[in-house]
Amino acid sequence: MARLWSILDLFNTKRHKKASSDQDERDLFIQYYKVFRELLDANHRVLTTMADMQEKAGGAYVFDQAYIRTSCRTLLEGVEKIIGNLNVLSGDRYKNLMFPYQACMREIQDRLEPKTVIPQTAHTLHLKTLGQDHIGSAGGKFAGLGEVLNRVGLPVPAGFVITAWAYVEFMKFNDIEEFVRNQLEHLDIRDYAALQSITDEIQKKILYARVPPDLQDAVMSAYRSLCMETGIKDLKVALRSSAVMEDIRASFAGQYQSVLNIPADAVLDKYKSILASQFSPRGIFYYKQKEFHIEQMAMAVGVLAMVDARAAGVAYSRNPERPTQDQILINAVWGLGPLAVEGSVPADYIAVVPEEPGGISYLQHNRQQVMLIGNPEGGIVEAPVPEELAGTPCLSDAQILRLAELVRKIESHYGRPQDIEWAFDAKDRLFILQSRPLRVSPSTMPAGTKFPVTVKGRRRLIDSGTVICRGVGAGPVVIVRDDEDMARFPQGGVLVIRHSDPEFAILLKKAAAVVAEIGTPLGHLATVIREYNIPAIFNATHAAAVLEPIETVTVDAVYANVYEGIVEELLACKREEGEFLSTPVVRQLREILELVTPLNLTDPRSVSFSPKNCKTLHDITRFCHETAMQTLFDLSKESHFSEHSAKRLVAGVPLQWWVIDLEDGILRGVKGKTVKVDQIVSIPMQALWKGMTAIPWEGPPPVDTKGFLATVLSASSDSSIEPAVARQFVDRNYILVAKNFCNVSTRLGFHFSTLESYVDEQPNNNYVSFVYTGGGAADDRKSRRARLISRLLEYFDFRVEAKGDSVFARFEGHPGESMEKRLQVLGHIIVHTRQMDMVMYNDTMVDWYYKEILKAVHSFIDLGA
């Protein structure tokens, strides 16, 4: 911003001082033009970001709070840049725009960072007193477990929680929070050695800290009450993390420690161990990558009576890849559950359709050789699976159906898919140990997509496995076995691992794909993989041995194949937007968008079109863009050399065009307030105009409209309207030209398009950028028109993004002749899709107009170049 204000001072000084020559004034005006270009660039970035956030808010893609933060930062920085540039152009006339901007910024920050208030409670709370409304004190995991017990009425182990307030008191008592804040403030999580060093320091400080005496008394008193409740003297317990943000805004699957079968004399030490676990390299990576603040890392710890599990595991209430199907997935192992969630042993993997006869099917059979059991002295140990159990199903059909019934009840209560941990004890009692929202895959192949089952002529290295997250990824093979391998893992590598250990989550931000020899779709790593939307295959037998000698591979996580080399045919296959069910992070984005995208300033000619009526960032952006156009127009009129004044274009079309010459865009010597088309020498503008006029526009499509829309159509097609007449729905259309550049903004009623192009003899300099949005019809019709324009532009080699009723397209890096022909295409499309949203009744109309426009374009353009 400081640079902008210094430019402003320069401009103001020069504007109030008579230029010594025409060339001085010309240079000054070109500097204004450059500032205007910066404003346009920032405006484009802001609008693109808004459109992307709106698309994400529709639930089509998985995203997290880090995405929201980054997008908001891009918006706020962009809008501030726009305001600054407008004030440079206008002589600081619109400084008051900072007031609505700052109001929006404060409200966005409040919604982006709701103050994390840890309620002051007792140091311990019994599980019977908890529910989903106790997240601030019990953390996400144990608030959810209390909900299952007290609101759903399902069996959970007896227990209590050491509250988040106890964590606050512990950290304060030992002066740890400020130490942690200072250590993490400037940490670069890409520096693995620094990350490891800092985590060691923080963890040691917590492990060697004192537990405050009143907290010790509260925990041991609650433990003794738990012994009385269960009737078991010297009861062994499980301690599990329950962070305040856990399972709320992001998946913390496997990030923090849980400990099992703990005797009374070890409870307090294990409590500190769990607090320290959030500052592991993996935990800090997650904390920094998700952009949480230290205040949001408050940790409650749940204490549960130990379940002597005969079998345990995880259940998904829906298939993450096909969430609309009525299918439950169950992962089961003998003994205690950690082996199931870690994916470190081959387990039973069962699909259940509860209402269908014979609805139980085994997708993978148990070949488990070791199991986890409680050690009589405390802790857990590995033991061989008893001979009579080895190779047999962990659960009977009756147990499977009992579990499925509870899973459906929990899903019904929450109204969305759930990820549930469970255990059957030796007395055949079923306990729910955890329930959290299930993240479903955002990517499924669209119907009719010709995605090959196999690629002929390419060597297939792996042809079986379990797809964890659908998609395709390619890159260099990187076998990761230890910390050294992790530290060397490159950006874009294909991560190949033996077990699906959650520790590898730290590498997912860099990975192009994941291949694991052993793993389960219901494990922690699988959960985080889907959160990052990374193509992944588990249970790929001997993957490390097969892939180690190979340099690069393509991972097809659609049909569970891995090919040698880069297979472009697979990488070119598009993925469809999948279902991302409503979550807190989606709701947060939608709340923020209420301050961003609504547009209140719709009519630039209205007296309400002013800074004081800007309520959203979109309002500010719209006001600045429109005002900058007019400001640049005014600046051109005030220039002391008349050949650079804005001129009205004389052309036989029912639109008013006002031309601003930025640099040699109009023939020298043209006088007066008008200019003819053949007097414009801008290379891109001439090409565009050729396309706009090659075939006369036949006028608006015939539609049955009344009232408001009829007014729009009538006003926008009235060629007799003079610029001095203030008609509500007619806008001037501006053309900014230089010899190699043009910026054309067309505004007709509620239709908007902006085209910018640079064309010279250097192909690398050449580009066409195009934005098309708006319309007077219903949203579905405007969206169909956007799809029509997108299809046409894609046909003509543009890179296209369509978001709602907006189209963003780009064509670049081609020789001048190819650029000019694409500009002709755009000119035809701009003219001949005007008001076409009115007749986009259905997809048949899209197809019909697509064929008609293609035929018309081919009648006057030969795209051989």
Q: Are strands 237-243 and 258-262 parallel, antiparallel or unpaired?
A: antiparallel
- What six digits make up the tokens of 568? 């472009």
Can you tell me whether residue 721 is helix, strand or coil? coil
At residue 396, what is the residue type? S
Q: For 295-338, give the secondary structure using H, E and C.
A: HHHCEEEEEEECCCEEEEEEEECCECCECCCCCEEEEEEEECCH
Helix (H) / strand (E) element for 738: namely strand 733-738
Q: Within 13 Å and on the Cβ side, how many CA atoms surround 238? A: 24
Q: Which residues contact 761 (CB under 8 A, 6 or more apart)?
A: 816
Percent helix, percent strand, percent coil in the chain, to nearest 5: 45, 20, 35
Q: Which residues contact 492 (CB under 8 A, 6 or more apart)?
A: 475, 476, 510, 511, 512
Closest CA to 232 of 223, 240, 241: 223
Q: Which residues contact 587 (CB under 8 A, 6 or more apart)?
A: none
Measured in degrees and rounded to the nearest 5, phi and psi for residue 478 equal -130, 110
CB 721 within 8 A of CB 647: no
Cα–Cα distance for residue pair 175/221, rounded to 1 Å: 26
Cα–Cα distance for residue pair 429/738, rounded to 1 Å: 80
Estimate to the nearest angstrom the gap between the alpha carbon of 784 and the chain centroid: 24
CB 569 within 8 A of CB 85: no
Choose, from 123, 134, 524, 828, the residue flagged as catalytic.
524
State the CB neighbour count (10 A cutoff) for residue 573: 16
532-548: b (≥16 Cβ within 10 Å) or e: bbbbbbbbbeebbebbe
End-to-end CA distance of the chain: 44
Q: Which residues contact 36 (CB under 8 A, 6 or more apart)?
A: 85, 89, 628, 632, 736
Q: Which residues contact 256 (CB under 8 A, 6 or more apart)?
A: 241, 243, 246, 274, 277, 278, 283, 299
Q: Are strands 299-305 and 237-243 parallel, antiparallel or unpaired?
A: antiparallel
> 303 forms bridges with which residues in the sheet?
160, 239
> 313 forms bridges with which residues in the sheet?
332, 422
Measured in degrees and rounded to the nearest 5, phi and psi for residue 512 equal -85, -25
Cα–Cα distance for residue pair 833/751, rounded to 1 Å: 10
Is-catalytic flag, 16? no
Measured in degrees and rounded to the nearest 5, phi and psi for residue 217 equal -60, -40
Closest CA to 111 of 177, 186, 53, 44: 53
Cα–Cα distance for residue pair 35/58, rounded to 1 Å: 35
Cα–Cα distance for residue pair 124/160, rounded to 1 Å: 7
Active-site residue list: 524
